[in-house]
Structure 1
Amino acid sequence: MITASADSQHRIDALLLERWDRDPALPALVSGDTVVTMGELRDRVLRAAAALRARGVGPGDRVVVHHERSVEFVVALLGVVFAGAAHAALDVHDPPRRTLRTIEDCAPRALLTSSALRSRFTGMPDLVILTDEDYAVRESSPAPAPAPGPAPVSSSGEDPAVVIYTSGSTGRPKASLISHRALVSRLRALQSTHRMDEHDRMVHHTVCSFDMYLCELYWPLLAGATVVIAAPGRQRDADYLAALIRDHRITTFYCVVSLLELFLLTRDPAERYDGIRQVLTGGEALGPELVKRFHARSTASLTNLYGPSECTIYCTAWVCPRDPGLDTVLIGSAVQDTELWILDEKGVPVADGEPGELHIGGAGLALGYLHRPDLTAERFVTSPAVGPGTRLYRSGDLVRARPDGALEFLGRVDAQVKIRGIRIELGEIEATALRCEGVRQAAVVAHGSGHERRLAAYVVPEEGAGTAELPAAVRRCLRGWLPPYMVPTAVETVDRLPLTPNGKLDRLLLEEWTARRTATPVPATTPVPATTPVLAAPVPPARTPGTLVAVTAADVEAVVSEVWCEALGAAGVDRDDDFFDLGGDSFKVVEVVETLRRRLGTDIPLAALLYEPTVAGLAAELRRLMDMDQESAR
């Protein structure tokens, strides 16, 4: 088992083990019809840890976890930290190239995955790869002895526990190393202000590329509450999540701002969420009108959280007041064990109420960036004006303090943006675009606000490159390297990129270009070739529900394509394009489905587009629904 030490109170594995041993019969995980008790979870985690330790994994090592969201995913994560190593969870839906590059950067000692996904890594013979079957107990086996724990390890709170990858400005994702001490500090801060116990349940639905998934797993498990695991691929389905909340009596829920908006937009206005005690949100700017709409639908508290991965999950919090006159949503004040400083460009504290860059210190700070000493030195700094030896993280966020100490977020000081709550460095997209054949220069900007925020790319073609075909080719190339949320909605070729008088890229002018093109749509991507049968068929007129009108498969594809182009501002779409790759989000799902319901006269569930996100796939599903309607009408 884990060796007790003076530092055990700062080790997440020691604290979890104590919690599980205290109440082994309590439910720890719920996934569909499967319930895993704390004692069962302990045994499964210790077996996974023992399997890793038997293969040489220990303190200082890193282990990649590559699982769909599931009980097995949770067991794998915890097995890594109980073996003394740090886990790096990679999204199974990322492009294979990106996953392999991230694994190469991580240099893990081992990789944990499922038997269904193991074939993705056949080209890595030097990497220890374990599936959940390698440490599972077979039902046909004799009753197992108590699960063996890993051999004693030196337990220090400063050991890394988590590796979080985020977008990097140089085209290379960067990884923050989070220690046990930092993780425990943040979980205790949450528990001190938003207490949970064995009567509470929290949904785990956040993708592992966003560090809030740590809150959804470690916090309830440490508090003795139950984690209810959302099915893979359903995290964007508001109807599904609403049913999960109701059926499993969820009391604590986290979601990014855009998902909170989706709940209030798509559910029956009369539906209330009074069963939830507390809702946490963040990742994007939270508007006062959304706060008021939420409070009108629920008695739950609503807390706005803020914080970059480098400070472990969050560093400020603001409980939104039930104020009908609310005009500004703040990001709040420092949480437990945290220091906040607002400094000017010289590293000197600004006057009260003046704007400046937020610098974060305290127990939640990351150890630094993996394999990036230069970047660590650049972002984790000391300021003589603050105090000798005080280590701070330069957030890049502009804020100002209100008289009561709560902070107001004002914007960014660099080219980092957020799309659907996930941090994106525009430089990474630009560097990837330069790898695409025929591209000499590339620039990417973000435009719009809130859930309408989109990415647009401008590329200068190499001499002799076909400019008409280049935008579509660039999007295809980017889809092979980047996750969907980083692929620009529009790609446009230009003769040259605008420069400032000192020769740097003029991003402000590019943003103005994009704003004008958005206001007056122009072809932003290559028109679909005539050989592609997307818009070839005439678009049928809208039909009345219940009428028997002959609509061919080509007609339905034409309707879907036209509606997508209208909603996404695209000049054309291919029948195999992915709605979310093109910039679709939860709000666009609602818009598209409502329009298709009117055009086709068929009751279409929101989940149809979530499950079939291509033109061809959605058209086939709609054709099936229409056939069912017509059969019922007969």
Structure 2
Amino acid sequence: MTTPAVDREHRIDVLLLERWQRHPELPALISGETVLTMGELKDRVLRTAAALRAHGVRPQDRVAVYHERSVEFVVAMLGVVFAGAAHAAIDVHEPPRRTLRTLEDCAPRVLLTSSALRDRFSAAAGYLVLTDDQYAAEQAAPPPTPPAGSADDPAVVIYTSGSTGRPKAALISHRALVSRLSALQDTHRMDEHDRMIHHTACSFDMYLCELYWPMLAGATVIIAAPGRQRDADYLAALIRDHRITTFYCVVSLLELFLLTRDPAERYDGIRQVLTGGEPLSPELVKRFHARSTASLTNLYGPSECTIYCTAWVCPRDPDLDTVLIGAAIRETGLWILDEDGAAVPEGEPGELYIGGAGLALGYLNRPELTAERFVNSPAAGPGSRLYRSGDLVRARPDGALEFLGRVDRQVKIRGIRIELGEIEATAVRCAGVRQAAVVAHGSGVERRLAGYLVPERGVDPARLASSVREALRGWLPHAMVPSTIEVADELPLTPNGKLDRLLLEEWAAKRSTDAPTTRPAGHPAAAGLDATVAEVWCEVLQVAAVDHDDDFFDLGGDSFKVLRVVETMRELLGVDVPLAALLFEPTVAEFVAELRRLMDQESAR
């Protein structure tokens, strides 16, 4: 049976197949020395899809993809969609227990992974585990076309932090994905002469933009090596060596580029840079424009609205004082409503509600949460379905929106969306914890999390903080582990008996201010390299102490703090310490060992 025309025009698999068949000789993916043409990619994707269908995968099914960033990851992801199912990409660097909980929630028909990662999954997990060499070797006949299906079938499953302690998964349809990619192509056109880097982790929905958009446009995807997404020097080399024309990065990575690279270095070869995920400052916009002729576009949008729903091309204005998130993109409606669901007066702040083709189908197996966040609003007309974003905005006279903050307890740390309630719910599951509270404090790149615990009767408070930190590391991604954890006899309350979060934020800010700001004088050899590294970390991270096995990023480290540590150690050691030394060896012990290796290498010259 032939798929209806309207569905064919809005299904990503059909559109990709048409693109690959038109120009099979063009490069589709480049990873290191590997170059895969569109024709070769098509063949591998269809073989993967055939293998999945031979193992019982059907439309409406879900398939988990558990690969390092690679050609194999892209082939697996596309093979799932061409089999008619939805792919749920899982970051291989997340704690194993969190991965298993995610898989339990997702209930995939199949999990695709590599031989190297196969041992992380038991044989009795309730789903079939296939490695890339297994399904590549299967001789199932590739289907001539994608399976018939609706544009409203799910194509992608995106997991985000959940306020109840349980991650939630948004189901993204073919129609929503195609709508967003078409909108990008309308305003930031790419063709076969363009190249875009894929470096964003698959836990952040912008990875969809980095892969599907250039493939649909006929451009080439340059795949960054695993683990190098924080390494600005490495990404800068990719931009230069592969003549990148289109680049997406979160705001903090954009700032890192401008801090770490030679101030005289320019990025005029890039035509367009997209950013978002965090507030973008006017000063950063001006610094970027001083270094590149490329356009800079600020994107905004929650995962539940598929990649983005507003965009604002930053003007080259020396007097720019506010960066906006822009107006609605195509096939999107925006409403600014008050607490009662009524439209606010023009220019007044209110909560942003989002409608249109980009809306997710809802949350996987969460009907109550879906009903709470995806609402039918009289303000948008009868039967209109809107996503309640929780973001506070104000409209300018020209329709562009100004982002003002959140109306709930969701925060962003280094561009990652975090529900504080999920961290608290995880902490109270730890042995010895009676109550837990987590707050965010600071702003911009200094924003971080602080945790507070009330112990059970008889529990040693001196050991509780470290044991809870270790437990959280096993359950949560790095960005969700508080930089500091303190134990208190009780949590402060407001006069009406509620937790006084403002006071906790004040405590956290004061603790940060009171942290050590000095380090041992003299050459590190005199004080001991371990002690010197610990002191430098305390100064940069603004924490009282660090342990030998503490992870720099668990303690609130980010790309900017990596730069500060590396610059300090270069000065103290007189050795060229690369950024990668801390990015790849993020514990005190590992970093010290790498520094000693670099010192020995320098002495041998």
CA contact (8 A) 1:211 1:309 kept: yes
Evaluate the alpha carbon distance shift between residue 364 and residue 84 of structure 1 in structure 2; reply closer, same or farther with a 3 A threshold.
same
CA contact (8 A) 2:28 2:36 kept: yes
Q: Could you tell me which residue of structure 2 aligns to residue 492 of structure 1?
A: 486
Following superposition, the deviation at residue 472 of structure 1 comes to 1.1
Equivalents in 2 of 1:4, 1:359: separation in Å?
31
Equivalents in 1 of 2:148, 2:11: separation in Å?
11
CA contact (8 A) 2:171 2:362 kept: yes
Following superposition, the deviation at residue 628 of structure 1 comes to 2.3
Evaluate the alpha carbon distance shift between residue 301 and residue 403 of structure 1 in structure 2; reply closer, same or farther with a 3 A threshold.
same
Q: Could you tell me which residue of structure 2 aligns to residue 620 of structure 1?
A: 593
Equivalents in 2 of 1:567, 1:607: separation in Å?
17
SS in structure 2 opposite 1:100? Answer: helix
Following superposition, the deviation at residue 152 of structure 1 comes to 6.5
Q: Could you tell me which residue of structure 1 aligns to residue 117 of structure 2?
A: 117
CA contact (8 A) 1:83 1:150 kept: no
Evaluate the alpha carbon distance shift between residue 123 and residue 430 of structure 1 in structure 2; reply closer, same or farther with a 3 A threshold.
farther
Equivalents in 1 of 2:377, 2:544: separation in Å?
51
Q: Could you tell me which residue of structure 2 aligns to residue 42 of structure 1?
A: 42
Aligned pairs for 1:342-361 (under 5 A) are 342-361=336-355
Q: Could you tell me which residue of structure 1 aligns to residue 551 of structure 2?
A: 578
Evaluate the alpha carbon distance shift between residue 522 and residue 371 of structure 1 in structure 2; reply closer, same or farther with a 3 A threshold.
farther
Q: Could you tell me which residue of structure 2 aligns to residue 504 of structure 1?
A: 498
1:546-586 Cα deviation digits (max 9, x unpaired): xxxxx38x921121111111111122211121111111100
Q: Could you tell me which residue of structure 1 aligns to residue 326 of structure 2?
A: 332
Aligned pairs for 1:291-310 (under 5 A) are 291-310=285-304
Following superposition, the deviation at residue 504 of structure 1 comes to 2.3
Equivalents in 2 of 1:130, 1:24: separation in Å?
28
Following superposition, the deviation at residue 3 of structure 1 comes to 4.9
- Pairing 1:394–2:388 present: yes
CA contact (8 A) 2:84 2:146 kept: no
SS in structure 2 opposite 1:284? Answer: coil
Q: Could you tell me which residue of structure 2 aligns to residue 260 of structure 1?
A: 254
Query: 225, 234, 246: which is aligned to 1:231?
Result: 225
Q: Could you tell me which residue of structure 2 aligns to residue 30 of structure 1?
A: 30
SS in structure 2 opposite 1:136? Answer: helix
SS in structure 2 opposite 1:578? Answer: coil
SS in structure 2 opposite 1:310? Answer: helix
Evaluate the alpha carbon distance shift between residue 571 and residue 516 of structure 1 in structure 2; reply closer, same or farther with a 3 A threshold.
closer
1:317-357 Cα deviation digits (max 9, x unpaired): 00000000000000000001000000001111111000000
Q: Could you tell me which residue of structure 2 aligns to residue 604 of structure 1?
A: 577
Equivalents in 2 of 1:3, 1:443: separation in Å?
52
Query: 535, 539, 545: which is aligned to 1:566?
Result: 539
Query: 535, 541, 559: which is aligned to 2:522?
Result: 541
Equivalents in 2 of 1:570, 1:515: separation in Å?
11
CA contact (8 A) 1:2 1:155 kept: no
* Root-mean-square deviation (Å): 1.8
Q: Could you tell me which residue of structure 2 aligns to residue 589 of structure 1?
A: 562
- Pairing 1:281–2:275 present: yes
Evaluate the alpha carbon distance shift between residue 614 and residue 171 of structure 1 in structure 2; reply closer, same or farther with a 3 A threshold.
same
Q: Which runs of 5+ in 1 are unaligned?
A: 139-143, 524-537, 544-550
Equivalents in 1 of 2:225, 2:181: separation in Å?
25
Equivalents in 2 of 1:27, 1:602: separation in Å?
41
Aligned pairs for 1:31-430 (under 5 A) are 31-136=31-136, 148-149=142-143, 153-430=147-424
- Pairing 1:480–2:512 present: no
CA contact (8 A) 1:454 1:488 kept: yes
Q: Could you tell me which residue of structure 2 aligns to residue 445 of structure 1?
A: 439
CA contact (8 A) 1:2 1:14 kept: no
Equivalents in 1 of 2:329, 2:53: separation in Å?
36
Q: Which runs of 5+ in 2 are unaligned?
A: none
1:12-50 Cα deviation digits (max 9, x unpaired): 000000000000000000000000000000000001100
Equivalents in 1 of 2:512, 2:6: separation in Å?
59
SS in structure 2 opposite 1:116? Answer: helix
Following superposition, the deviation at residue 421 of structure 1 comes to 0.6
SS in structure 1 opposite 2:378? Answer: coil
Q: Residue type matched to 2:543 in 1?
A: A
1:268-296 Cα deviation digits (max 9, x unpaired): 00000000000000000000000000000
Equivalents in 2 of 1:186, 1:468: separation in Å?
51
Equivalents in 2 of 1:353, 1:239: separation in Å?
43
Equivalents in 1 of 2:423, 2:151: separation in Å?
36
CA contact (8 A) 2:437 2:453 kept: yes
Runs ≥4 residues deviating over 6 A: none
Equivalents in 2 of 1:589, 1:344: separation in Å?
42
CA contact (8 A) 1:53 1:151 kept: no
Evaluate the alpha carbon distance shift between residue 581 and residue 447 of structure 1 in structure 2; reply closer, same or farther with a 3 A threshold.
same
Question: Identity across aligned pairs (percent)?
Answer: 77
SS in structure 1 opposite 2:461? Answer: coil
Q: Residue type matched to 1:62 in 2?
A: R
CA contact (8 A) 1:220 1:226 kept: yes
CA contact (8 A) 1:5 1:155 kept: no
Following superposition, the deviation at residue 540 of structure 1 comes to 6.8
Q: Could you tell me which residue of structure 2 aligns to residue 526 of structure 1?
A: none
SS in structure 1 opposite 2:18? Answer: helix
1:578-607 Cα deviation digits (max 9, x unpaired): 111111100000100111112222221111
Equivalents in 2 of 1:327, 1:383: separation in Å?
34
Following superposition, the deviation at residue 382 of structure 1 comes to 1.4
Equivalents in 2 of 1:605, 1:407: separation in Å?
40
SS in structure 1 opposite 2:322? Answer: coil
CA contact (8 A) 2:181 2:212 kept: yes
Aligned residues: 604
Evaluate the alpha carbon distance shift between residue 250 and residue 163 of structure 1 in structure 2; reply closer, same or farther with a 3 A threshold.
same
Evaluate the alpha carbon distance shift between residue 560 and residue 611 of structure 1 in structure 2; reply closer, same or farther with a 3 A threshold.
same
Q: Residue type matched to 1:580 in 2?
A: F
Equivalents in 1 of 2:285, 2:448: separation in Å?
23
1:413-465 Cα deviation digits (max 9, x unpaired): 00000011110000000000001111100000011111111000000011111
CA contact (8 A) 1:542 1:601 kept: no
Q: Residue type matched to 1:424 in 2?
A: I
CA contact (8 A) 2:440 2:450 kept: yes
CA contact (8 A) 2:432 2:455 kept: yes
CA contact (8 A) 1:306 1:314 kept: yes
Q: Residue type matched to 1:217 in 2?
A: L
1:501-539 Cα deviation digits (max 9, x unpaired): 33322212211221222222389xxxxxxxxxxxxxx95
Q: Could you tell me which residue of structure 2 aligns to residue 533 of structure 1?
A: none
Following superposition, the deviation at residue 123 of structure 1 comes to 4.8
Q: Could you tell me which residue of structure 2 aligns to residue 528 of structure 1?
A: none
SS in structure 2 opposite 1:582? Answer: coil
CA contact (8 A) 1:251 1:276 kept: yes
Evaluate the alpha carbon distance shift between residue 624 and residue 316 of structure 1 in structure 2; reply closer, same or farther with a 3 A threshold.
same
Following superposition, the deviation at residue 612 of structure 1 comes to 1.2
Bigger mean CA deviation after superposition, 605-614 or 328-337: 605-614
Following superposition, the deviation at residue 150 of structure 1 comes to 7.0
SS in structure 1 opposite 2:604? Answer: helix
Equivalents in 1 of 2:124, 2:217: separation in Å?
39
Q: Could you tell me which residue of structure 2 aligns to residue 16 of structure 1?
A: 16
Evaluate the alpha carbon distance shift between residue 382 and residue 4 of structure 1 in structure 2; reply closer, same or farther with a 3 A threshold.
closer
CA contact (8 A) 2:194 2:246 kept: yes
